[in-house]
Structure 1
Amino acid sequence: MNFSVYRDLLAIVPVRRVLLVGMLARFPHAAAGVLLTLHVVLTLDKGYAAAGVVAALVTIGIAVGAPWRGRRVDNVGLRKALIPSVISEAVIWSVAPHVSYEWLLVLALIGGLFTLPVFSVVRQSLGVLAKGDKRRTAFTLDSIGTEVVFMGGPAVGAVLATSVSTAVGLTLVGICTAGAGLFLMWFNPPTRSESPEATEHDVEAATAAVVSSAPAHLGEPAAELTEAAGAAVEAEGQSGGLLARAAAGFSWLTVSVAVVFVVAAGAGLLLASSDVGIVALVESSGNPGQLGIVFAVWCFASLVGGLVYGAMKRRVSPMLLLLAMAVLTLPMSLATDTVSLALLSIPGGLLCAPVLSAASERVADLVPEERRGEAMGWYGSALTTGTAIGAPLAGMAIDVVGPWAGFAFAGTAAALMVLLTLGIRAVVNARRTLV
């Protein structure tokens, strides 16, 4: 391990600035999860399954919206792409706390659809600013910053919900997130090494140079080939060209990238289910104000694990990291109070940041830079899809069995996802070997 890599990376001003902006922009939504759960359970007097449905709709909206917003960043730039998010964050979360449960479901879906894409933007920018092994350290630092935010965000959310009101808390989330979006637009971190226009100009210039330097007798055949290629492209456009272009648009989606997306979905399921389980167990003990203690310990463990992983000189498979985290989450079901839950959250928490860092690094390595914004959007969609599945199912288990069932479901489901994916990949590789 080499911990000096952190000092070297933080000495780069743009990297340091992106990490700081990412922390500030994430803080409001770090409090939103607890606020939404307590708003449904305490203010609207619904169960944890109902709260899980709201969380699921938010994450479904994020999963649907993240890819096209990532593509918008690729195509029109960060500032224009963020305008819808800034407006919707301020409006929707100021209205949502004052409507019925049924309307809250609708607003939760729309709010998720236009959520500020902090995760994908920050990771995309770090992928541009950091190269090689520095990229692992940069993603780890971002995960560590996220853990610091989630050490304080849920605690602030719990205090606002229990001491003031969930309505005030959710309104502040919307206003602060919109403000963070405006700050991100002002800072405008780089998402590409160079503009598409510059790249196109360079290609045209290089082509012109080659043509101008070619022997004269090659001119006519080259012209004929160009004309023939144009005719072929036109013919393709008339017969199935749209399907071909659509397939080409996803040429970056290889089997290896798909496996990373499975890891992201499993991590989302595991974290969301554990999140609901923590809220349910602490609230059932009659001390919802102590939620911040458990989240602080859980996130601090992730911070420590992230520091160690970022200093490592070799990478570890995100699939194996997720499997270990799932197994280590199961003992949280044995907790009986706030203190025991906080202590039992440490082993699994140590692997949280490493899982997300390893998966993000893998996506950045596998996907070309010009499609990385869209790929990070799909990565975020996979993560939030897992969250959308995990939150309501864990809520149902908690309502039927008890708070401990949330952790049992989380660890078991995530572990089964990993084992099933590894089994499918082994069968595919075996068939390729036979062929």
Structure 2
Amino acid sequence: MDLAPFKHVLMLPGVRSLALLMFFARMPPAATGVILTLHVAVTLDKGYGAAGLVGAAATIGMGLGTPLMGRLIDQRGLRALLTVGVTASAAFWLTAPLMGYWTLLCTSFGVGLLGAPMMLIGRQVITALVPESRRRIALSVDSISVELSYIGGPALGVFVATKFSTNAALLFIGLSILVAGVLLYWMNPPMVHEDEIVDGPQPKIVEWMRGRIVGVLVVCVGATVCLAGMEVSAIASLEHIGKQSWLGVVFFAMCVASIAGGLVYGGVKRAPSVLVLLALMAALEIPVGLGDGNVLLLCLLLVPMNLMCAPLMAASGEHISRLAPPTARGLALGLQGSAFTIGGAIGAPLAGVAVDHGGAPAGFAIVGVAGLLVAGVAWLLARQSKPVASRVTMSS
């Protein structure tokens, strides 16, 4: 593993400052799930079932809205998206403490649909700041940044919610998104690399949404089927032995393993394909259930499959950014975000049903097998013809 390429990418103009800004910009979205759950279940005293409905409404909204926001970037630019998205996000989070349950339920769908998709923005910005030859390394950096955000964001959100109140945490999220959005608006980073010159009208989606890129999107679905199922099964395993307090340690081990995998993936000269990464992740999830009843063994068994997490996210982003035309990259990366959302919506209940009938080991095994099946579907799609070349010329 050679870490020198990471240094070279971070030394490119604008990369370090944007990577740092996107790290902080993604921390509030990473905390939204746990804060909304605590607010609805505890502050509003509606229970965890009602909290789950609010989270589901927001997730459905994001699944539908991310491609729309990506399309808006393609057609109107980043500032147009930020005007709509940051306004919607800040308005929701800053007024959420005043809302009753039913108002919160309806508006959570709206903020998912129209809110600022910081994950999408970060991926597209990083692809625009680096040449295609360095995108694998740059997207590895981005995936590592996401993992760090998911370590720090929920922890900070829970601290504010428990130290002060969930209302204070909601306001903190709103102010953080507003500040990050204003900074992004001021910096206005490019959305397409300077070497990519668009020639002619914007291509229609049917011209590039073909076998290989569809296969990559299917891989994204399979990845989050495995990851969402893993989380549900891990929670069930700890609850079964009365060790729920160790959940933070287990999740920390997962994130550290993913970060390590991202460093290795970005530093190797020959990287495995997205199909290989998904197949490895799914296969390595099946035996994790052997750690049921032992926190240390569970953490150790979770490490190998999570080593594939950041590399898989980076590899899928790299393929999509290369296969889609630059003028449709926002839409393509938005569809990637929707694929991640769909996978999570499938993986969590699939693991839940398996856990109810066979315990945590069944949860890990079932979603692992499901991931392997999805990898098979993606392999069949990848064998189809390449998408039509985009109307792009490379400057000298």
The answer as to whether partners of 1:305 and 1:352 remain within 8 angstroms in 2 is: yes
Q: Which residue is equivalent to 1:67?
A: 67
The structure 2 residue matched to 1:353, chosen from 303, 310, 320, is: 310
The answer as to whether partners of 2:212 and 2:382 remain within 8 angstroms in 1 is: no
Q: Which residue is equivalent to 1:374?
A: 331
The answer as to whether partners of 2:261 and 2:308 remain within 8 angstroms in 1 is: yes
Letter of the 1:383 partner, please give it: F
Q: Which residue is equivalent to 1:237?
A: none
Q: CA RMSD in A?
A: 3.2
Q: Which shows bigger deviation, 322-331 or 304-313?
A: 322-331
**Structure 2 vs 1, CA of residues 190 and 423 (structure 1 numbering), >3 Å: closer, same or farther?**
closer
Structure 1 residue 306: Cα displacement: 0.5
**Structure 2 vs 1, CA of residues 9 and 345 (structure 1 numbering), >3 Å: closer, same or farther?**
same
Q: Which residue is equivalent to 1:5?
A: 5
Structure 1 unpaired stretches of 5+: 204-244, 430-435
Distance across 2 between alignment mates of 1:416 and 1:353: 21
Structure 1 residue 103: Cα displacement: 4.4
> Which of the pair is proportionally richer in helix?
1
Structure 1 residue 154: Cα displacement: 2.9
Q: Which residue is equivalent to 2:371?
A: 414
**Structure 2 vs 1, CA of residues 7 and 109 (structure 1 numbering), >3 Å: closer, same or farther?**
same
TM-score, length-normalised on structure 1? Answer: 0.77
Structure 1 residue 356: Cα displacement: 0.5
Distance across 1 between alignment mates of 2:17 and 2:210: 32
Distance across 2 between alignment mates of 1:103 and 1:393: 29
Letter of the 2:328 partner, please give it: R
Structure 2 unpaired stretches of 5+: 386-396
1:365 aligns with 2:322: yes
**Structure 2 vs 1, CA of residues 61 and 297 (structure 1 numbering), >3 Å: closer, same or farther?**
same
Match runs of 1:76-225 below 5 Å: 76-96=76-96, 102-161=102-161, 164-193=164-193
Q: Which residue is equivalent to 1:271?
A: 227
Structure 1 residue 409: Cα displacement: 4.2
Structure 1 residue 270: Cα displacement: 2.3
The answer as to whether partners of 1:152 and 1:292 remain within 8 angstroms in 2 is: no
**Structure 2 vs 1, CA of residues 387 and 303 (structure 1 numbering), >3 Å: closer, same or farther?**
same
Letter of the 2:305 partner, please give it: G
TM-score, length-normalised on structure 2? Answer: 0.84
Letter of the 1:191 partner, please give it: M
**Structure 2 vs 1, CA of residues 347 and 195 (structure 1 numbering), >3 Å: closer, same or farther?**
closer
1:28 aligns with 2:28: yes
**Structure 2 vs 1, CA of residues 362 and 183 (structure 1 numbering), >3 Å: closer, same or farther?**
same
Q: Which residue is equivalent to 1:301?
A: 257
The answer as to whether partners of 2:128 and 2:194 remain within 8 angstroms in 1 is: no
Q: Which residue is equivalent to 2:389?
A: none
Distance across 2 between alignment mates of 1:255 and 1:129: 28
Q: Which residue is equivalent to 1:318?
A: 274
Structure 1 residue 288: Cα displacement: 5.2
Distance across 1 between alignment mates of 2:91 and 2:331: 26
SS at match of 1:12: coil
Cα shift readout 1:285-331 (whole Å, capped 9, x = no counterpart) = 66655433222211110011110010111232112201211222234
Letter of the 1:109 partner, please give it: F
1:385 aligns with 2:342: yes
Q: Which shows bigger deviation, 142-151 or 186-195?
A: 186-195
SS at match of 1:137: helix
The answer as to whether partners of 1:51 and 1:392 remain within 8 angstroms in 2 is: no
Structure with larger Rg? 1
Cα shift readout 1:142-169 (whole Å, capped 9, x = no counterpart) = 1111112222223334444555544443
Q: Which shows bigger deviation, 305-314 or 261-270?
A: 261-270
The answer as to whether partners of 1:263 and 1:322 remain within 8 angstroms in 2 is: yes
Cα shift readout 1:192-214 (whole Å, capped 9, x = no counterpart) = 24599x967xx8xxxxxxxxxxx
SS at match of 2:92: helix
